[in-house]
Structure 1
Amino acid sequence: MNYDALIIVDMQTALVEAEPYNKVAVVENIKALLDSCRKKGIPVIFVQHDGGNGDELEHGSSGWTIYKDIAPMPDEKIFEKQYNSAFRKTGLHEYLQEKGVKNIILCGMQTEYCLDATCKVAFEYEYDVTIPQSATTTFDNAFASGKELAGYYENKIWNNRYAKIVGMEQILKLICS
C-alpha cells in the first residue's frame, strides 16, 4: 500500500499528560509511525484542537501544544480545529485534494470523539483510511473504559466499514515497502 499522508489528531500536551488509556504504547506507536513516514517521505499532518478561552486546549496555552515526544518538524503542516472533525472549517480537505492525497494513515485521540468524527468524514470524502491498532486512545468515562472504547471503535465501528484496522508491525512494513 502506498500511503499519501499520516494525520495525527489532537496529541496535545494537556490530553496526553492526563494519562489516557495505553498512553505509553500509543505515544511510542505514533513515534514509530512518524519515524517511518518521515524516512519514506510521506507527508505528516498534525491537527490541534482549540477549546477556546479558558479551556485546557486554549490556543497558545501549554496544554494546547503538540506533545513533546511527537513534535512536528518545521516543514510539517498543522491544522487547527474547533470541532470534533479535523475537516470542519479547517482547510484540511482542500489541502489533501491539492496534494493528491487518497490513502491516509489516521491516529491520535480521542477515539470516540475527534478520531471517530475525522474517520467518518474522511470516509465520506472517499479517502482510503488506515488506522493502526494501538495508535488511538481515549479516557475512561461513565459508560466504558478507555480500553473498551478503543477496542470497540477499532473492531466494531471502523474496521471494514470506514477504515482498515491493521497491526503496528503490519503498517510499518507497508509504509516501508
Structure 2
Amino acid sequence: MILLVVDVQKALMAEKPYDAEAFIERLKALIAGARAKNVEVIYIRHNEPESDLAIGAEGWQIDDAIAPLADERIFEKTFNSAFHHTSLKAYLDEKAVQTIAIVGLQTEYCVDATLRSAFDLEYQIIVPEDCNSTLDNDYLSGEKIKTFFNEAIWRDRYAKLMPITDVLNLFSNNPK
C-alpha cells in the first residue's frame, strides 16, 4: 500500500479550496501515520507552463504544511492523471503495490483522473474521507463537487471510501 498525495501545491492552496485548513490538518495526520508505519508517501506535482504551476514557480511547490521528506518520491505530471506519460505505474509495479490511498486536489480534475486511471490499471483504491478538496466554480461550490464525486461517483464503484482512522489502521497492517 502507498499513500498518493496529488497536487497539494502552493498555488492551489492559495486559492482556498473547500475546508482548506481542516483539509491540510487531515492530510498532515494521514501522512504522519503513513510515515510512522513505513507506508510510502508519494507526491504528485502538476506542471502547467506559463502559469503559477510552471516548474520552478513558487506556486508549483508542494504546500509547506505537508512537504515531502528528502527521501520521498515526487512524480511530475502535465496531464490530469498521475499515470498519463509518467513513470508512476512502472514504479508501483516494481514495488508490487496493489493498493493506493489517494488524497489531494482538485477532486473533479486530477484526483478523479488519477483515481479512474488507477481503477483501469486494476489497483485497489482507497479514498480517505475528507482528504480531497476543490475550488468553487461557476456551477457548484467546492463542497458540493467534493461530496458529489466522493459519494455519487467513487464510493463502491471506483474506490472504497474510509474514515481516516480506518485508513490509519490499514497502514498498521501495511498490505501491498
TM range, smaller chain: over 0.9
- What is the aligned partner in structure 2 of residue 173 from structure 1? 169
Matches within 5 A, 1:96-115: 96-115=92-111
CA distance in 2, matches of 1:142, 1:166: 30
Residue 122 (structure 1) shift: 0.1
How far 1:176 sits from its partner (Å)?
Answer: 2.9
Corresponding position of 1:56: 52
Aligned to 1:11: 8
Deviation readout 1:31-87 (Å, 9 max, x if unpaired): 1111011010011100000011x2010001100000000000011000000000000
Other-structure match for 2:26: 29
Match of 1:79 among 75, 82, 94: 75
Decide which of 142, 146, 157 is 2:142's aligned counterpart.
146
- What is the identity, as a one-letter code, of the residue corresponding to 1:151? T
Q: What's the CA shift for 1:30?
A: 0.8
Alpha-carbon shift at residue 109 of structure 1 (Å):
0.5
Structure 2: gaps (5+ residues): none
Q: Secondary structure at the match of 1:26?
A: helix
Identity across matched positions, percent: 41
Cα distance in 2 for residues equivalent to 1:27 and 1:123 = 25
What displacement does 1:18 show?
1.2
**Deviations 1:85-136 (CA, angstroms, capped at 9, x unpaired):** 0000111011100110001110001000000000000000000000011100
CA–CA distance in 2 between the matches of 1:29 and 1:128? 22
How many residue pairs are counted as aligned between the two chains? Answer: 173
TM-score, with length taken from structure 1:
0.95
RMSD of the alignment, in Å?
Answer: 0.8
Are positions 1:126 and 2:122 aligned together?
yes
The residue type equivalent to 2:139 in the other structure is F
Partner Cα separation in structure 2 for residue 154 and residue 166 of structure 1: 11
Q: How does 1:86-97 map to 2 (within 5 A)?
A: 86-97=82-93
TM-aligned CA deviation for residue 167 of structure 1: 1.4
Tell me the distance in 2 between the aligned counterparts of 1:38 and 1:77: 13
- How far off its partner does 1:172 sit? 2.0
Unaligned runs of 5+ in 1: none
Match of 2:32, as an amino acid?
A: D
Match of 2:40 in 1: 43
CA distance in 2, matches of 1:144, 1:17: 19
